[in-house]
Amino acid sequence: MPKPDTARRLQLRYAGRCGSCSASLPVGANAFYDPASKMVYCLNCDVTEVESGVAGASARRENERRTSARESRIRSAHPKLGGLILALSDDPQSTKSWAAGAVGEEVLGIRLDGLVSSSVRVLHDRRMPRSRANIDHVVICPSGVFVIDAKRYKDARPSLRVEGGLFRARTETLTVGGRDKTALADGVHKQIDAVVDVLDLPGLDRIPVTGVLCFVDADWPLFGGSFMVDGLHVLWPAKAADLIRKPGELDDATIERVYLALARALPPA
């Protein structure tokens, strides 16, 4: 993908079209060429500033910040015994959850990075506009854009509980380890809305944007297991990879244009 160490400026020997803004580039024009994606870009589209991000980076930073703050509090309150107290006690669950979340994002990030090609682009840990929340992963591929929220509930089984039907309204409940976690779907829908807003551009506004809840280290059954809830895919990393590999209608140039638009509008968290 376009980065300072791969994209280089040159004079075109063949006419082309900018992979970001679709501007026509005649023979002899100065442009950026990215050998990794085999795409060209006009000089107005500074592809060298695009960052794909680091999976789990913001969650990892928050865990380290909380751990450091706790250590400082304990050592300040107990100058002589602070080290012993820290050695004999664990971080609170609220701090551990950030570390667990970072691991989940990192594991899924490695899987997604293995799919990157001229037809698959991946963004990690993106900051949402006007929000303190972030988007764990965004994948752009031939079948559209996937907004993926990584969750790590170790050894807990995600499942769908359906109630109602014939004589009363049908309701769907996402449970994890028997607990109602439907609120997780609401968070993904907000992330989808942020991506859709960015893609409100000519030629990009009809591209499908789909949400995914990907549970890492969950207790998935040997057969089946994945399901849909509130229009979202609920699955595991390998199943997410299968979803991304499916054929679609987007060509490499459109995929690259979407990638660059999202990378710039949703900076690394």
* Average pLDDT by stretches of 10, the chain with 269 residues: 58 85 87 76 70 91 91 92 88 87 94 94 94 94 98 94 83 94 96 95 91 96 92 97 97 90 90
- pLDDT for res 191: 97
Phi-psi region of 154 (alpha: psi -120 to 50; beta: other; left: phi over 0): beta
Residue 243: name the closest of 117, 96, 139 by CA.
139
- pLDDT for res 4: 38
Residues 6+ away with beta carbon under 8 Å from 65: none
- pLDDT for res 76: 93
Query: Is the pTM of the predicted complex or chain greater than 0.95?
Result: no
- pLDDT for res 16: 87
Residues 6+ away with beta carbon under 8 Å from 262: 123, 126, 138, 140, 145, 195, 198, 199
Q: Could you tell me the two tokens for 130?
A: 């006007």
- Residue 256's alpha-carbon distances to 47, 98, 160, 259, 261, in angstroms, are 11, 32, 35, 5, 9
- How far apart CA 163 and CA 228 sit, in angstroms, is 15
- How far apart CA 143 and CA 151 sit, in angstroms, is 23
- Residue 22's alpha-carbon distances to 18, 117, 202, in angstroms, are 5, 20, 11
Task: Please say whether the beta carbons of 158 and 170 come within 8 A.
Answer: no
State the DSSP H helix or E strand holding residue 73, giving kind and residue range, or none if neither.
Answer: helix 57-77
Q: How many CB atoms lie within 10 A of CB 258?
A: 26
Residues 6+ away with beta carbon under 8 Å from 194: 128, 129, 131, 135, 266
For CA atoms 262, 264, 267, 268, give the dihedral sign. Answer: positive
